[in-house]
């Protein structure tokens, strides 16, 4: 069986996604027999787990009266891949989350639909206020939302009080979280490879952390705790504090982010186990079991 980006993508998709794409390609808006037929051939091959298909055989099915043309074959694959990517992005955008609400807000703004925009702005603010997920991306998006609110208030009445202070505060919080997040990545990488990183404003960041109520910002609390653990790897109190926070704060993060947070501690356990501290093997195993039970280590349902 030939291997290319298109087929590699299809292999990774769920049966439901394949069925959704088939329905999408059958819509009148596509109007391309070759693309629809190519997808049908590849879909049937996936379902039956056949391996004898080659690009020449598929091309001959698509164009029985023509000899194989590699340029035409590549173009057709590229066109189908682009349509599938567009569909997959569209499917992600209909999932209700913070990004969905911001995308819809931006759409109404671009279309100059004032009443729609105002209603969506209210819905977006309420959604953010109720959101359980409050990770790094959430705080980045909240900066954008505060800016939108500021522009909206300014357009209503120029002499009214604006949310400028909230925007300034949220910008600081988002920056601090991102800075600590990437500092953790740098320290974790540095512990394995002999490489030094210029941490930039990290000293200033550390001095500002105490100005914030960490109970109010779970992501800031979590990444500051991770940073302290990685900065002082021999301090058992710092590690134990990290273990407590991974359990108490994990619900505020998307799966992909809490997975990386768990891996910071698991890799710490592996390094200390390799140094002869055998009890860290048990702790690392406990963390693996925790993360597996909560499905944090799975990607698309697979380990």
DSSP 4-40: -HHHHHHHHS-HHHHHHHHHHHTSTTT--HHHHHHHH
CA distances from 102 to 41, 77, 96, 106, 188 (A): 38, 33, 10, 6, 33
What is the reported pLDDT for 150? 85
Among candidates 49, 71, 44, 69, which has minimal Cα distance to 59?
Answer: 69
**Residue-wise DSSP of 279-294:** HHHHHHHHHHHHHHHT
What is the reported pLDDT for 110? 81
- From first to last of the 303 residues of the chain, give the pLDDT tens digit: 567 788 888 887 888 888 888 888 887 766 678 888 888 888 888 777 666 778 888 888 888 888 999 999 999 998 888 888 877 767 656 667 888 888 888 878 887 878 888 888 998 999 999 999 999 999 999 999 998 888 888 777 666 677 888 889 999 999 999 999 999 999 999 888 888 888 888 888 888 898 889 999 999 999 999 999 999 999 999 999 999 999 999 999 998 899 999 999 999 999 999 999 999 999 999 999 999 999 998 887 777
CA distances from 15 to 9, 12, 19, 21 (A): 13, 10, 6, 10
What is the reported pLDDT for 300? 74
Tokens read off for 114? 């004032």
What is the reported pLDDT for 51? 64
What is the reported pLDDT for 89? 62
- Cα–Cα distance, 198 to 150 (Å, whole number): 35
CA distances from 257 to 51, 143, 164, 302 (A): 37, 19, 30, 16
Would the pTM count as exceeding 0.75? Answer: no
What is the reported pLDDT for 214? 92
62, 54 Cβ separation under 8 angstroms: no
């Amino acid at each position: 069986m030939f291997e290319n980006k298109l087929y590699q993508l299809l292999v990774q998709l769920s049966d439901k996604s394949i069925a959704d794409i088939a329905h999408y390609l059958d819509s009148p808006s596509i109007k391309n027999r070759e693309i629809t037929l190519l997808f049908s051939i590849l879909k049937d091959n996936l379902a039956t787990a056949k391996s004898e298909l080659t690009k020449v055989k598929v091309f001959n099915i698509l164009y029985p009266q023509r000899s194989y043309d590699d340029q035409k074959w590549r173009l057709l694959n590229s066109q189908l891949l682009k349509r599938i990517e567009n569909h997959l992005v569209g499917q992600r955008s209909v999932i209700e989350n913070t990004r969905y609400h911001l995308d819809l807000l931006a759409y109404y703004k671009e279309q100059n639909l004032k009443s729609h925009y105002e209603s969506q702005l209210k819905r977006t603010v309420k959604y953010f206020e109720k959101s359980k997920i409050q990770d790094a991306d959430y705080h980045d998006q909240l900066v954008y939302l505060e800016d939108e609110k500021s522009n909206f208030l300014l357009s209503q009445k120029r002499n009214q009080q604006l949310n400028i202070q909230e925007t300034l505060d949220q910008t600081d919080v988002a920056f601090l979280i991102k800075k600590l997040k990437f500092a953790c990545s740098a320290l974790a990488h540095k512990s394995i490879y002999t490489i030094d990183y210029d941490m930039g404003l990290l000293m200033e960041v550390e001095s500002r952390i105490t100005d914030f109520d960490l109970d109010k910002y779970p992501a800031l609390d979590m990444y500051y705790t991770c940073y302290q653990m990685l900065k002082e790897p021999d301090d058992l109190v710092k590690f134990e504090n990290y273990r407590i926070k991974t359990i108490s704060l994990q619900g505020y993060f998307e799966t992909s982010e809490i997975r990386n947070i768990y891996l910071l501690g698991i890799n710490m356990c592996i390094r200390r186990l390799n140094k002869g501290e055998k009890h860290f093997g048990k702790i690392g195993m406990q963390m693996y079991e925790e993360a597996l039970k909560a499905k944090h280590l799975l990607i698309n349902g697979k380990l």
